[in-house]
Amino acid sequence: MASAKNTTSNYSTATSTSNSANTNWRAGVLNNYTLMPKNLTQYNAFRGVTDFTQIGQFDQFERGYSFLAVISMPKFIDVLAAQDEEVAKMCFSFKHMLEYEFRGLSGLPDITAQQNNITDGINEMQYVSRVTYDTSITVTMPYYEKKGSLISKFSEYYLTGIKDPKSQAKTYHGAIRAGLIEPGLENEVFTLLYYVTDNTMLSLERAVLLANCQLTQATTSNLDGSREDIGANVPYDISFTGFPIMGTMVDKAAKALLQDITGVKVAPSKVGSPAERYQDQKAQGTYIGTESLGNHTKPVYTAYLDSADYLYGIMDESLTAANVANPVLTNAIANSTSDVESDNTAYNNLKEWRQQGNDARTLISQENPF
Summarize pLDDT for 235-256 with one digit per residue, the tens: 999 999 999 999 889 998 898 8
Query: Of 345 and 210, which is predicted with more confidence?
Result: 210
Contact 296, 368 (CB under 8 A): yes
Q: Which three-class secondary structure state does DSSP give residue 147?
A: coil
- For residue 324, the model assigns a pLDDT of 75
Share of the chain above pLDDT 70, in %: 72
Helix, strand, coil percent values for the chain (each to nearest 5): 40, 20, 40
H helix runs in the chain, sequence order: 2-21, 75-81, 85-100, 150-162, 248-262, 274-277, 327-335, 341-367
Burial class (CB in 10 A: 0-12, 13-18, 19+), 336: exposed
Kindly indicate the confidence band of residue 305, based on its pLDDT and cuts at 50, 70 and 90.
confident
Containing 62, the helix (H) or strand (E) segment is none
Q: How many CB atoms lie within 10 A of CB 31?
A: 20
Kindly indicate the confidence band of residue 352, based on its pLDDT and cuts at 50, 70 and 90.
low
Buried b (16+ CB within 10 A) or exposed e, 239-266: bbbbebebebebbebbbebbbebbbbbb
- What is the phi/psi pair of residue 275, to 5°? -65, -35
Whether 90 shows a pLDDT value over 90: the answer reads yes
Share of the chain above pLDDT 90, in %: 46
From residue 32, alpha-carbon distances to 127, 251, 253 in Å are: 33, 9, 12
Measured between alpha carbons, how far is 197 from 361 in angstroms, rounded to an integer? Answer: 30
Angle between helices 150-162 and 85-100 (to 10 degrees): 110
Q: At residue 7, what is the residue type?
A: T
Contact 293, 312 (CB under 8 A): no
Q: Which of 174, 104, 87, 96 is closest to 143 using CA atoms?
A: 104
Contact 317, 329 (CB under 8 A): no
Domain coordinates of the chain in residue numbers?
A: 28-42+60-278, 306-370
* Mean of pLDDT over the chain: 81
Our separate counts of H helices and E strands in the chain read: 8, 11
- DSSP, residue by residue, 96-135: HHHHHT----B-PPPEEEEEEEEE-SS-EEEEEEEEEE-S
Q: Which three-class secondary structure state does DSSP give residue 204?
A: strand
pTM: 0.78
- DSSP, residue by residue, 249-298: HHHHHHHHHHHHHHS-EEPPTT--SHHHHEESPPPTT-EEEEEEETTEEE
- For residue 347, the model assigns a pLDDT of 60
Most confident of 120-124, 270-274, 307-311: 120-124
From residue 228, alpha-carbon distances to 224, 231, 232 in Å are: 11, 9, 9
